[in-house]
Structure 1
Amino acid sequence: MKFQPIVPMIWTEQLSETIDFYCTILGFTCSEKNEEWGWASLFKDDCQLMFAKPNQHTSFEKPTFTGTFYINVDDVETLWKLLKEKVNVVYQLETFDWGMKEFAICDNNGYRIQFGQDITT
């Protein structure tokens, strides 16, 4: 049995604004959107995310997540230069002892996204 890449389903009350943030600021493409379901699927390269408005089966007060969404990239410095003036920065580009160069931002919902590059290779 082989596991496939994980695709988070992220809840938001602001579906259109979230799609705009990820597509305009981060360069994702909206591959599918269903207004009736309140759902969309976005991708950039090998990274896929789904967004959905909470439904009657979902207890939802505000966007919360107890971790971060970590996206590995192959040129974190260029991405940092492109994003740093356009987003809410959590922490600036840093090189860590464990061999990763990374930074973190918040999206329009307040979810934390980290971008990192392995610099040990």
Structure 2
Amino acid sequence: MESLSPNIFVTDMKATVALYRILGFEVTMSVPETGEELIWAMMANGKVTIMFQSFESLANELPEIKRTDGGSLLLYINVSDINGLFNSVKGKVTVLKGLEKTFYGATEFSIVDNNNYVLTFAQHE
């Protein structure tokens, strides 16, 4: 295995792309390739890649994909400048837990995105 790129199902692609741009992600691929009504987008920031897809785009192919937003998924993302990232996003996103040092030596903070997914950003020393 070489990498993991989660494909996360969302209800509002436009709002999701906008929020992840605040976090420093850029769209690297999308369907359609141009326009604002995306049904799928791959976004990347450094070595971190996340795919987002509308529920409707697979409703007929995979009807098993049926759930509410959020749930028990937490994305844990390692970063190199935790203070810089926190300062650049606070006030623009919903912060669940501010900067704090953990017992295992990481400095972390957690946010919730517009789909109720929790993202924890961490810098390990």
Q: TM-score, normalised by structure 1?
A: 0.88
- In 2: Cα distance, 1:37 partner to 1:105 partner: 24
Q: Is 2:98 the counterpart of 1:101?
A: no
Q: Which amino acid aligns with 1:22?
A: Y
For structure 1, list consecutive stretches of 5 or more residues without a partner in the other structure. Answer: none
Shift in Å, 1:17:
1.2
CA contact (8 A) 2:13 2:38 kept: no
Match of 1:18 among 3, 16, 19: 16
Shift in Å, 1:11:
0.4
Name the structure 1 match of 2:48: 47
- CA shift digits 1:29-48 (9 cap, x unpaired): 10111049811101011110
Name the structure 2 match of 1:9: 7
For structure 2, list consecutive stretches of 5 or more residues without a partner in the other structure. Answer: none
Shift in Å, 1:61:
4.0
Shift in Å, 1:65:
3.1
CA contact (8 A) 2:75 2:120 kept: yes
Listed as ranges, the matches of 1:1-121 within 5 Å are 3-23=1-21, 25-35=22-32, 38-54=39-55, 55-56=58-59, 57-58=62-63, 59-119=65-125
Alignment length, in residue pairs? 116
Aligned-pair Cα RMSD in Å: 1.6
Shift in Å, 1:97:
1.1
Query: Identical aligned pairs, as a percentage?
Result: 30
- In 2: Cα distance, 1:40 partner to 1:18 partner: 10
